[in-house]
């Protein structure tokens, strides 16, 4: 072994994205490597721009103190969402490349099969683990403690560790653009294709470790959320007074606690096969690939509901707020959420109806799958009845919400079709399936999270998002989604397999072209979203809502300033019913000064998240490329940091009652000076974050 | 304060220990129980996988050939004894029997835990010498994915115990040390229960 081999393992020049093109310049290899190198260049440039920007502004100290080491759940939530948005941008660009390839894919196209395989693998992996999961984790992180009247999560430092692990996984996927290749095994990484004998390169290893980092992060987040909701609710906030978003957060947290470990086992055993010559899922010596499939989907199906439930929660808040009504059928919605959470563990087999079970087993799982449609249907009716006879304001979150209802029901229908095993035999592994799950996840998760951003952004940053670009983005997402995925239903019925780099049937062509146009529309929607953010930041002084209640909100988070102080509430509120803040407004007693202020104890900053995240990234990168010394070093750092943390005794600091009083009284004076507005003025500059109280005839 | 005792599952230290940490302690202990549930799913999945792989010997050694109940029995006794001594340490903590008692029981626990790990390692080494390696068959792979994971847990628990002993040396028996011991106790007994599962299902099952 040479020194280079010891230091760099199997990492060599051939990992650079343009290496192949230089060695073997053909037309196709040049095209593919130029695309790959461009992507790698974007990563390098992006990182350089961030580093240079922060240095130029001299903000490293600020970034370290106020963000990277801050245990504040609000800051951590925002950082999770930033990761999600960055990864969303990358995965959408990948989607555009895939659609472009299939639009010209009759007998060829411009991408190699290998490149296409990497694209659909990273696209899926990112959208599930590094877009959806961080997005919903971020939103729950931000909103849930405010909704239950808590000052922070139960374990703030653990929260930082969760963030660090997710960031490490996302960084690993990004680095795989510069030092190639990534896996071609799809986001599910089915063995035995992902075993060493068929996939000897670094790609699958990148996938295993990126996903593992994300899994650990989500397990810890789930524990943190569940304990917080069980133990940190304000006095009087009984379970059945919790806002529906918090209920969905609780169910998602429970699913994370029980649903993530099977994935840890699946990827862990796959790693043992690849690294230590085990035979868990290999084709020889007694390995059994069906174990992988079962383990993976024992995670994979609960995962679907981990993703969708928080979005249901967001929509429940949005429908109630923008209809000016209390949520219809609250108890039933809670029951339906719990039903979905429980049923989600009973249907995993429908992901592989065609893989050798008996017809009776298939039938049982098919029926269980269809049962999930019942609580989901109940929810849809509850949302519609919330709007019924409400004064509906078609704000940006509402556009997403209404688009969601219409499209999600369609997707649900195709889900019931797929749940029938005999039909599934016909359309499985075709684009029909791809159309179905995108039909659930885009209107569900993505619209839900974008609605959440539009809804809670003013709370987090103190100014409203610009509406015009927001509307454009929302409509383009809806249109882009329909153009991109409805043709895939047709293509699936025509028999086009999913994940095809090219095809020979000319009848597919018009549909793949329409889908390609749809992808471009979705790209335009992303551009509108970014423009919306840009314009909003530019015009922020015009849209300030410091008083904190821009939408005439109902739940507790709107009873604080925007942005809320670090400790959320100067005194922990007493809760007397559902829609706590609306009750106060109804009673004419919002914005009260407490009789007495007390010192507030808050968690102190900690570098644990950064240390564990950095060491986790190093360990994963080193494992991927066989740099064993770095693996050992990172493990020592992680264990050492955990032990050292046990010796830290100053884990909290105190904010004096006096400071709390000053901050609160300043805010109360500002609220007093803010002119309350009616809902008709909601989208104008007159909206400074205070609503006309109901007692003054606020029928808007 | 009207709040007198905490009611989290597990050993409640009670009012005599009320050092402004009751709420924190309740959350910590509850959170750790939840973490244990999550960890239990990992073991559950591995147990299930192991059972499906019993026949996957690929013409190699069968469970009957591979498994020797004698070392496993010794390991069981070591681990059960360590659980008992940890229980004694917890009682020493609860009834404030002083630092000597507490540290004494913890040290005995540590020695038993390390003896368990050492004995198990010795068993694995002799299995390797006999050619019973994970690369031989699916069955042996599943054995070596389940049983050593438990051993790894015991190793980390022992490491944690050493760290807490050093914390006691530095800070005495303060609130954080107590919180650490309460959680480590849960982990320790949890690993005991998992081992009962391993002994019954893997070793007794293999001997049958």
Helix axes A156-178, A203-231, angle to 10 degrees: 160
**Rounded CA separation A585/A590 (Å):** 5
Q: Considering CB atoms only, which of B34, B42, B142 is closest to A280?
A: B142
Q: Which region among A352-356, A670-674, B5-9, B42-46 has the lowest average model confidence (pLDDT)? A: B5-9
Mean local confidence (pLDDT), A361-374 = 95
Place B17 in a pLDDT band, splitting at 50, 70 and 90. confident
- Domain containing B89 equals 21-57+67-207
Q: Are B13 and B174 in contact (CB under 8 A)?
A: no
What is the distance, to the nearest Å, from the Cα of residue A545 to the centroid of all Cα atoms in its chain?
27
| Residues of A with Cβ-Cβ distance to B128 under 8 angstroms | none
CA dihedral B146, A211, A97, A473 (to 10 degrees): 140
Q: What confidence tens digit (pLDDT) does each residue in A612-635 have? A: 999 999 999 999 999 999 999 999
Output the CA–CA distances (angstroms, integers) from residue B192 to A180, B18, B126, B189, B206, in the order listed: 44, 30, 24, 5, 20
pLDDT digits (tens, 9 = 90+) for B107-127: 999 999 999 999 999 999 999
Answer positive or negative: Cα dihedral of B23, B28, B30, B34.
Answer: positive
**Block residue for tokens 């992996």:** A125
Tokens 């129980």 found at: B33
A6 vs A8: CA distance, rounded Å: 6
Interface contact flag, A647 B170, Cβ < 8 Å: yes
The CATH number of the domain where B44 resides is what? 1.20.120.80
CA count, 13 A, side-chain hemisphere, A473: 26
Measure in Å the smallest separation between the Cα of B20 and chain A Cα atoms: 12
Query: In the prediction, which pLDDT does A695 show?
Result: 61
pTM score over 0.90: yes
Whether residue A436 lies in the annotated active site: no
Between helices A289-323 and A244-276, what is the axis angle to 10°?
160
| Alpha-carbon gap, residue A460 to A207, rounded angstroms | 33
> Residue B19: what pLDDT?
62
What 3-state class would DSSP assign to A370? Answer: helix
DSSP state of A68: I
> Of A77, A255, A71, which Cα lies nearest the Cα of A154?
A71
pLDDT (0 to 100) of residue A277: 96
Select which of A152, A180, A557, A584 is catalytic: A152
Mean pLDDT over all residues of chain A? 95
Would you say residue B37 has pLDDT above 70?
yes
Question: Percent of chain A, pLDDT > 90?
Answer: 95
pLDDT classification of B10: cutoffs 50, 70, 90: confident
**Phi, psi for residue B11 in degrees, rounded to 5:** -70, 115
> Quick one: pLDDT at residue A696?
60
pLDDT at A699 over 60: no
Residue A306, beta-bridge partner list? none
pLDDT over 50 at B2, yes or no: no
Let me know if A152 is a catalytic residue: yes
A498 is annotated as an active-site residue: yes
Surface-to-core class of residue A30, CB atoms within 10 Å of its CB (0-12 exposed, 13-18 middle, 19+ buried) = middle
pLDDT in tens, A421-461: 999 999 999 999 999 999 999 999 999 999 999 999 999 99
Decide if B5 is inside a domain.
Answer: no
> Is residue A157's pLDDT more than 70?
yes
For an interface test with B, the pick among A261, A264, A356, A640 (most B C-beta atoms closer than 10 Å) comes out as: A261
Nearest to B42 among A261, A279, A291 (CB): A261
Is A218 part of the annotated catalytic residue set? yes
Residue B1 has pLDDT above 60, yes or no: no
Pairing of strands A652-655, A600-603: antiparallel
In-domain check, residue B16: no
**Residue range of the domain that includes A96:** 59-544
**Segment A477-487, tens digit of pLDDT:** 999 999 999 99
Give the pLDDT confidence of A263-299 residue by residue, as tens digits. 999 999 999 999 999 999 999 999 999 999 999 999 9
Look at residue A653 and give its three-state secondary structure.
Answer: strand
pLDDT at residue B18 tops 70: no
The size of the A-B interface in CB pairs under 8 A is 113
Smallest CA-to-CA distance from A259 within A219, A211, A207 is with A219
Look up A544 and say whether it is catalytic.
no
Q: What would you report as the CA-atom Rg of chain B, rounded to the nearest whole angstrom?
A: 19
Domains identified in chain B, total number = 1
**Are A646 and B180 in contact (CB < 8 Å)?**
yes
Give me the pLDDT at residue B5, please: 53
Confidence check: pLDDT of A700 > 50: no
Nearest CA to A178 among A20, A18, A4, A7?
A: A18
- Token pair of A693, please? 């109280």
Residue A147, CA distances (Å) to A391, A405, A465, B49, B63 in order: 24, 25, 21, 41, 54
On chain A, the residues whose CB falls within 8 A of the CB of B136 are: 285
The pair of structure tokens assigned to B77 is 């006794």
Q: What is the mean pLDDT of residues A459-479?
A: 97
Q: Which residues of B touch A271 (CB under 8 A)?
A: none
Interface of B with A (CB under 8 A): 26-27, 30-31, 34-35, 37-39, 41-42, 45-46, 49, 52-53, 56-58, 60, 134-142, 144-145, 159, 163-164, 166-167, 170-171, 174, 176, 180
Residue among A142, A209, A247, A305 flagged as catalytic: A305
Whether A592 is covered by a domain: the verdict is no
Whole-number pLDDT of residue B15: 72
The pLDDT tens digits of the residues spanning A526-567 come to: 999 999 999 999 999 999 999 999 999 999 999 999 999 999
pLDDT of A305 strictly over 80: yes
Q: Is the pLDDT of residue A153 over 60?
A: yes
DSSP letter, residue A691: B
pLDDT of amino acid A534: 97
- pLDDT at position B20, please? 60
- DSSP one-letter code for B62: -
When pLDDT is averaged across residues A169-180 and rounded to a whole number, the result is 96
For range B136-163, the mean pLDDT: 97
* Tens of pLDDT, residues A485-533: 999 999 999 999 999 999 999 999 999 999 999 999 999 999 999 999 9
DSSP classification of residue A677:
B
Torsion angle, CA of A409/A414/A420/A421, rounded to 10 degrees?
-140
Question: Residue B137 domain-assigned?
Answer: yes
Task: Scan for tokens 């904190």, then name that residue.
Answer: A548
pLDDT over 70 percentage in chain B: 94
Position A139 in a domain: yes
Smallest CA–CA distance, residue B40 to chain A, in Å, is 9
Q: Out of A90, A301, A436, A585, pick the active-site residue.
A: A301
Confidence of residue B6 (pLDDT cuts 50, 70, 90): low
Total structural domains in chain A? 1
Q: Do A474 and A340 form a contact (C-beta atoms < 8 A)?
A: no
For residue A197, indicate whether it is catalytic: no
The Cα–Cα gap between B175 and B13 comes to 11
Q: What is the CATH number of the domain that holds A378?
A: 1.20.210.10
Does position A380 have pLDDT exceeding 90, yes or no? Answer: yes
**Stated length of chain B:** 208
| DSSP letter string, B4-22 | -----SS----GGG-SS-H
Residue A245 falls inside a structural domain: yes
CA distance A186 to B2: 57
CA-CA distance, B41 to A201, in Å (whole number)? 31
**B21: pLDDT strictly greater than 80:** no
ipTM: 0.95
Span B53-75, pLDDT tens digits? 999 999 999 999 999 999 999 99
* pLDDT value for B22: 66
């Amino acid at each position: 072994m040479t020194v280079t081999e010891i230091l760099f393992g199997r990492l060599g020049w051939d990992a650079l994205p343009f290496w192949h093109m230089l060695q073997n310049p053909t037309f196709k290899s040049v095209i593919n490597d130029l695309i790959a190198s461009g992507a790698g260049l974007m990563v390098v440039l992006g990182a350089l721009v961030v580093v240079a920007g922060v240095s130029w502004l001299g903000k490293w100290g600020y970034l370290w103190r106020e963000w990277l080491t801050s245990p504040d759940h609000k800051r951590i939530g925002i950082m999770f969402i930033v990761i999600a948005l960055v990864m969303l941008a990358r995965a959408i660009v990948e989607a555009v490349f895939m659609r472009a390839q299939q639009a010209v894919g009759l007998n060829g196209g411009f991408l190699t099969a290998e490149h296409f395989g990497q694209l659909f693998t990273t696209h899926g992996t990112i959208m599930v683990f590094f877009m959806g999961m961080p997005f919903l984790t971020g939103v729950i992180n931000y909103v849930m403690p405010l909704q239950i009247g808590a000052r922070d999560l139960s374990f703030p430092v653990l929260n930082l560790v969760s963030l660090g692990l997710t960031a490490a996984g996302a960084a690993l996927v990004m680095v795989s653009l510069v030092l190639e290749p990534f896996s071609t095994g799809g986001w599910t990484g089915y063995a035995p294709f992902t075993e060493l004998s068929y996939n000897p390169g670094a790609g699958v290893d990148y996938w295993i470790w990126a996903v593992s980092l994300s899994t650990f992060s989500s397990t810890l987040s789930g524990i943190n959320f569940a304990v917080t909701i069980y133990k940190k609710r304000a006095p009087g906030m009984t379970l059945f007074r919790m806002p529906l978003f918090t209920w969905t957060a609780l169910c998602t947290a429970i699913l994370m606690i029980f649903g993530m470990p099977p994935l840890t086992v699946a990827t862990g055993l796959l790693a043992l096969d690849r690294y230590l010559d085990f035979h868990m899922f290999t084709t020889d010596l007694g390995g059994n690939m069906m174990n992988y499939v079962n383990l993976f989907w024992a995670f994979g199906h609960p995962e679907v509901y981990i993703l969708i439930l928080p979005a249901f929660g967001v929509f429940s808040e949005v429908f109630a707020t923008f209809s000016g009504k209390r949520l219809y059928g609250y108890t039933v919605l809670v029951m339906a959420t719990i039903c979905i959470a429980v049923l989600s563990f009973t249907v995993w087999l429908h992901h592989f109806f065609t893989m050798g079970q008996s017809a009776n087993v298939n039938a049982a799982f098919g029926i269980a799958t269809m049962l999930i449609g019942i609580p989901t249907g109940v929810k849809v009716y509850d949302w519609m009845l919330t709007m019924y006879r409400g004064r509906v304001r078609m704000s940006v979150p509402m556009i997403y919400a209404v688009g969601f209802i219409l499209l999600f029901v369609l997707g649900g229908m195709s889900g019931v079709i797929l749940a029938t095993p005999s039909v599934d035999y016909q359309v499985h592994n075709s684009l029909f399936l791809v159309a179905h799950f995108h039909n659930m996840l885009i209107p569900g998760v993505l619209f839900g999270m974008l609605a959440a951003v539009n809804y809670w952004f003013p709370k987090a940053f103190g100014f409203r998002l610009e509406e015009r670009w927001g509307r454009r983005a929302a409509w383009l997402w809806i249109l882009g989604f329909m153009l991109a995925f409805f043709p895939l239903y047709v293509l699936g019925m025509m028999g086009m397999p999913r994940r095809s780099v090219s095809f020979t049937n000319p009848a597919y062509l018009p549909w793949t072209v329409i889908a390609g146009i749809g992808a471009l529309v979705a790209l335009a929607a992303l551009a509108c979203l970014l423009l919306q953010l840009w314009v909003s930041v530019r015009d922020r002084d015009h849209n300030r809502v410091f008083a904190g209640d821009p939408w005439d909100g109902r739940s507790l988070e709107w009873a604080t300033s925007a942005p809320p102080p670090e400790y959320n509430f100067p005194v922990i509120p007493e809760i007397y019913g559902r829609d706590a803040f609306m009750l106060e407004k109804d009673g004419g007693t919002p914005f009260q000064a407490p009789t007495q202020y007390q010192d507030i104890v808050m968690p102190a900053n900690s570098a644990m998240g950064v240390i564990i995240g950095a060491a986790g990234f190093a360990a994963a990168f080193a494992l991927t490329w066989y740099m064993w010394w770095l693996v050992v070093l990172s493990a020592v750092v992680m264990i050492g940091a955990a032990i050292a943390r046990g010796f830290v005794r100053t884990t909290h600091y105190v904010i004096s009652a006096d400071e709390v009083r000053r901050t609160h009284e300043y805010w109360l004076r500002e609220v007093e000076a803010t002119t309350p507005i009616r809902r008709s003025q909601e989208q104008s500059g007159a909206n400074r974050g205070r609503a006309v109280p109901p007692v003054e005839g606020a029928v808007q | 304060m009207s709040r007198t005792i905490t009611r989290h599952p597990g050993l409640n230290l009670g009012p005599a220990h009320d050092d402004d940490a009751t709420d924190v302690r309740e959350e910590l202990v509850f959170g750790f129980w939840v973490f244990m549930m999550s960890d239990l799913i990992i073991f559950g999945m591995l147990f299930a996988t192991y059972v499906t792989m019993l026949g996957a010997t690929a013409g190699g050694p069968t469970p009957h050939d591979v498994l020797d109940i004698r070392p496993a029995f010794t390991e069981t006794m070591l681990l059960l004894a360590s659980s008992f001594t940890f229980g004694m340490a917890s009682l020493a903590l609860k009834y404030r029997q002083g630092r000597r008692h507490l540290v004494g029981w913890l040290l005995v626990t540590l020695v038993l835990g390390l003896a368990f790990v050492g004995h198990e390692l010795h068993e694995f080494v002799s299995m390797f010498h006999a050619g019973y390696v994970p690369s031989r068959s699916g069955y042996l792979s599943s054995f070596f994915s389940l049983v050593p994971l438990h051993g790894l847990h015991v190793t980390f628990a022992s490491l944690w115990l050493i760290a807490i002993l050093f914390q006691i040396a530095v800070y005495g028996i303060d609130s954080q040390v107590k919180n650490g011991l309460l959680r480590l106790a849960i982990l320790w007994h949890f690993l005991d229960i998992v081992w009962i599962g391993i002994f019954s299902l893997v070793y007794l099952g293999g001997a049958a």
